[in-house]
């Protein structure tokens, strides 16, 4: 195992800068997921670590050693690619041990590692097959086996499940987590799928346009998003963002006043008398049908939400509702009997709500506005 550190990393292709001052530390044995939309710089970051691209500025540090000038084969990194990158003319056994052969590992060690990896990945019965004779999930296991057998310091995964169907992706997510638990190798996993990020990572790093927007545990990212991008990118369905005005004792939405339990009394907040225009963020999962909310609780309430559409999802249902001129996505359980066209009163815990600055998009309780100088 090894630690991995990215220090002030910049990457430019010609005059275009695609990574802007990336700083990231991954502890020994940690599983970190790098997530963001296509083109945000995730895979470029991975390729810089692997040595497949040159760094413009900054340092890649593995186990406290700067590796910028080391060739990829000397970094002791194993990488699993999106397209598997298997040799079609070699069977499973030959694909898995190819790297060991190139490193001139002894036959005894090679056989012992192959046996261990094949058993771990349940590939014992497929060692003599060619890649074309395997399913997508089996090919992905072979690609993982080729990485694991090398006993590398760091594993890099570049969207390895994107070519699989939904059922197989779910299965392989569990497989990868199980394998990581067994081998405990430091891992950086790249994906654009926020469900993969939430379910797999010890820690999530959210990227946008070559910048790290936020990093933290899955629940930290989900419950305390740093800005509107993180709030809407992480979570399915994404967080509702409503136009509202913030006052010391209440927030106003479409003419409805929603009062706080306690007055906002923070020296870093300066609220104008007419209210501070904000985006009020509430996740669909945090709403309750008023009819089934606990009585006497301190829940806030939005009245007269009109139901436009109901999507049954088994245990719960998703509702598209209209509050004045604004649309919301709400997830409620099966007890709710309201139908399309009905109005419904919705409750939520104000402590689960977020207030975002309309100019900077930042979460005001994490990044409070700067008070003007007296």
What pTM value is reported for the model?
Answer: 0.88
Closest among 166, 318, 335, 165 to 237, alpha carbons compared:
318
pLDDT confidence of residue 371: 53
End-to-end CA distance of the chain: 54
Predicted local distance difference test score (pLDDT) of residue 374: 43
150, part of any domain: yes
Q: Of 226, 242, 269, which one is at a domain's C-terminal end? A: 226
Residue 10 · residue 20 · CB < 8 Å: yes
Residues 97 and 207 in one domain: yes
Q: Are the CB atoms for 368 and 269 separated by under 8 Å?
A: yes
pLDDT of residue 126: 93
| pLDDT value of position 267 | 64
Answer whether residue 371 is part of any domain.
Answer: no
CATH (domain of 180): 3.40.50.300
What pLDDT does 373 receive?
46
pLDDT at 369 (0 to 100): 61
| Same domain flag for 220 and 238 | no
Q: Does 269 share its domain with 217?
A: no
Q: Is residue 93 part of a domain?
A: yes
287 and 267 both lie in a single domain: yes
Number of C-beta neighbours around residue 80 at 10 A: 23
Residue 373 domain flag: no
Write the CA distances from 197 to 153, 233, 282, integer angstroms.
22, 11, 21
The reply to whether 120 and 250 lie within a common domain is no
Looking at the 3D structure of the chain, how many domains does it have? 2
Interatomic CA distance for residues 316 and 287, integer angstroms: 12
pLDDT tens-digit profile, the chain (374 residues) = 799 999 999 999 999 999 999 999 999 999 999 999 999 999 999 999 999 999 999 999 999 999 999 999 889 999 888 887 889 999 999 999 998 888 888 999 999 999 988 988 889 999 999 999 998 888 888 988 888 888 889 999 998 888 778 888 888 888 889 888 888 999 999 999 988 999 999 999 999 999 999 999 999 999 999 999 999 999 989 999 999 999 988 899 999 999 887 777 676 677 788 889 999 999 999 999 999 887 655 688 999 999 999 999 988 999 999 999 999 999 999 899 999 999 999 999 888 999 999 999 999 887 766 554 44
Q: Considering the domain boundaries, does residue 246 fall inside one?
A: yes
Q: Domain boundary residue among 226, 242, 259?
A: 226
* Residue 318: other Cβ atoms inside 10 A: 15
349 shares a domain with 245: yes
* CATH code of the domain containing 279: 2.40.50.140
Closest to 85 measured CA to CA, from 35, 189, 159? 159
Domain that holds residue 197: 4-226
Residue where one domain finishes, among candidates 200, 226, 252? 226
Predicted confidence at residue 296, as pLDDT, reads: 57
The answer to whether position 369 is within a domain reads no
**Rounded to an integer, what distance in angstroms lies between the CA atom of residue 270 and that of residue 258?**
19
Which tokens hold the place of 145?
A: 């086996």
Extract the tokens encoding 252: 């106003």
């Amino acid at each position: 195992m090894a630690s991995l550190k990215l220090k002030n990393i910049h990457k430019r292709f010609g005059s275009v800068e695609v990574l802007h001052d990336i700083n990231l530390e991954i502890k020994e044995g940690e599983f970190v997921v790098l997530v963001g939309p296509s083109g945000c710089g995730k895979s470029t970051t991975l390729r810089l670590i692997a040595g497949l691209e040159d760094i413009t500025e900054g340092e890649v540090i593995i186990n406290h050693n700067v590796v910028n000038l080391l060739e990829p084969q000397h970094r002791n990194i194993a990488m699993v690619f999106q397209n598997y990158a298997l040799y079609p003319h070699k069977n499973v056994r030959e694909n898995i041990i190819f790297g060991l052969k190139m490193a001139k590992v002894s036959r005894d060690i090679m056989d012992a590692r192959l046996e261990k990896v094949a058993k771990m990945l349940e590939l014992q019965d497929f060692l003599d097959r060619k890649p074309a004779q395997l399913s997508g999930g089996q090919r992905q296991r072979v690609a993982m086996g080729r990485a694991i057998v090398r006993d590398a310091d760091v594993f890099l995964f570049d969207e390895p499940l994107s070519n699989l169907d939904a059922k197989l992706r779910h299965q392989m997510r569990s497989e990868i987590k199980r394998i990581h638990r067994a081998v405990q190798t430091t891992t950086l996993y790249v994906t654009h799928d926020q469900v993969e990020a939430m379910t797999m990572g010890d820690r999530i790093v959210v990227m946008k346009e070559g910048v790290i927007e936020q990093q933290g545990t899955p629940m930290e990212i989900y419950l305390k998003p740093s800005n509107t991008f993180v709030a809407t990118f992480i979570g399915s369905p994404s967080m509702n963002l409503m136009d509202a005005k913030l006052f010391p004792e209440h927030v106003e939405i479409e003419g409805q006043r929603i009062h706080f339990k306690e007055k906002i009394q923070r020296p870093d907040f300066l609220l104008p008398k007419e209210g501070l225009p904000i985006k009020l963020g509430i996740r669909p999962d945090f709403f309750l049908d008023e009819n089934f909310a606990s009585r006497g609780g301190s829940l806030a309430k939005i009245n007269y939400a009109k139901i436009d559409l109901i999507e049954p999802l088994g245990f719960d249902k998703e509702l598209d509702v209209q509050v004045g001129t604004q649309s919301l996505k709400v997830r409620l359980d099966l007890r709710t009997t309201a139908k399309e066209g009905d109005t419904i009163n919705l409750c939520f815990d104000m402590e689960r709500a977020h207030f975002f600055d309309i100019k900077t998009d930042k979460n005001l309780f994490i990044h409070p506005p700067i008070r003007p100088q007296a």
